[in-house]
Structure 1
Amino acid sequence: MNATTTLNPASHPRVLLLPGWLDSGPGHWQTLWADRFGDQRVEQADWQWPRRGDWMARLEEVILEDDRRVLLAAHSLGCHLVAAWAAHSRHTGRVSAALLVAPPDLEQADTPVQLHHWRPTIRRPLPFPALVAYSDNDPFSGASSSREITAAWGAASHACGPRGHLNAESGLGDWPAGRAMLIGLATGR
């Protein structure tokens, strides 16, 4: 491990992993980060029929578990969780920054019925630094939709090329480039 992939727990915030709908499986970069770096996955009570309010309450609970600041590393629906939570919480100052990876376009006509509780999409600027990483060929969001939500959230953006949904099927492994983005957010680089 080196300075580009690790965070010193004594001087940096804890990393919270926010999976999307159906959770992140064994080959997903979030699971690999939890195993390799000790990042904390925010477990939700219902991965099948996610309710926005329930997920927001769980995130708030985990953030308030201790006094340390947090870095959020969200994937897919987890990105929308960050936006919804930030629009309602009084504790957004606890977040140092957020890496938001592959936010889906929830307004698409073919959005699964299980995700309709997440409409309308929250489109407010985030009160902390954020970076949206997206793929040019994500089946759940076009590049233009990704750029639009990035602008609405007041986030920086990073196009990752044609990599699908930036998940296990994208062949990212433990995704060193994503970890470098997170470290950059944590260190202000």
Structure 2
Amino acid sequence: MTSNLTPDPLAPAASTAIEKARVLVLPGWLNSDAAHWQSRWIARHGYQRVEQDDWTWPRRGDWMARLDEVLLATREPVVLVAHSLGCQLVAAWAEHSRLTDRVRAALMVAPPDTEREDMPPQLHNWRPVRRGRLPFAALAVVSTDDPYCSVDRAAAFCADWGAPVHRAGPRGHLNGESGLGDWDDGHDLLRALAAGVRLALPD
């Protein structure tokens, strides 16, 4: 399932699709700071951050319930933009929620391996990793030197989820410290995914 994916040239429909959807941003543990591309996308594009009651000691069931609450209050089709623990939220939520048909697609960036022994105790209740196949389109973006998940482990999770993998190169945890800025390349992937534009292997 792992591949170096690049989007086909974006059709005008790609912009229309993302404009008609409600884009929900799912940060990971401790939330996304101002330098993070998720926060930049929220400021630049008007996307909605799904706020959690406790970012420090995240409880998987509480985060799943909060995502359900937000979806119940949303009328438009939804596109999820998850980073780090937000990816594990998408996987766990999709196994239990009755609202998955409201989601058009999910961009899942830098999923962490919460089953690793060196994970902080705040994340132990996110074990085991939920690995059911996602009932909507998904694309994962992983770094080749992510300190929180090896490439092989990320590929295994994503294969189970049914999410093709785009390798972003050695960019750490693909967060505010990775120097991505507005991460326009990532946003192009999001727009293509939302529109159902085929993501093709490069020559």
Change (3 A) 1:3 1:45: farther
8 Å contact from structure 2 (residues 17, 191) kept in 1: no
Higher RCO structure, 1 or 2 (CA under 8 Å, sep 6+): 2
Give the TM-score, by structure 1 length: 0.95
- Determine the C-alpha separation between the residues in 2 that align with 1:7 and 1:40: 17
Of residues 81, 106, 110, the one that matches 2:89 is 81
Letter in 1 for 2:124: H
Query: Partner residue of 2:171?
Result: 163
> 1:167 Cα shift?
0.5
Of residues 175, 181, 185, the one that matches 1:177 is 185
Task: Establish whether residue 17 from structure 1 lines up as the match of residue 25 from structure 2.
Answer: yes
Query: Partner residue of 1:101?
Result: 109
> 1:63 Cα shift?
1.1
Query: Partner residue of 1:52?
Result: 60
User: Where do 5+ consecutive residues of structure 2 fail to align?
Assistant: 1-9, 198-203
> 1:7 Cα shift?
4.2
Query: Partner residue of 1:37?
Result: 45
- Determine the C-alpha separation between the residues in 1 that align with 2:107 and 2:17: 18
Change (3 A) 1:31 1:3: farther
SS of the aligned residue for 1:177 comes to helix
Letter in 2 for 1:186: A
Aligned-residue identity in percent = 57
- Determine the C-alpha separation between the residues in 2 that align with 1:173 and 1:72: 20
Query: Partner residue of 1:120?
Result: 128
Give the TM-score, by structure 2 length: 0.88
8 Å contact from structure 2 (residues 105, 194) kept in 1: yes
Of residues 71, 74, 77, the one that matches 2:79 is 71
- Determine the C-alpha separation between the residues in 1 that align with 2:124 and 2:118: 10
SS of the aligned residue for 1:141 comes to coil
> 1:66 Cα shift?
2.3
Of residues 119, 126, 137, the one that matches 1:111 is 119
In the TM superposition, what whole-angstrom CA distance separates every residue of 1:145-179 from its partner, at most 9, and x where no partner exists? Answer: 11111101011110000000000111000101110
Query: Partner residue of 1:133?
Result: 141
SS of the aligned residue for 1:124 comes to coil
> 1:108 Cα shift?
0.7
User: Where do 5+ consecutive residues of structure 1 fail to align?
Assistant: none
Letter in 2 for 1:163: R
SS of the aligned residue for 2:40 comes to helix
8 Å contact from structure 1 (residues 14, 70) kept in 2: yes
- Determine the C-alpha separation between the residues in 1 that align with 2:87 and 2:17: 24
- Determine the C-alpha separation between the residues in 1 that align with 2:17 and 2:139: 22
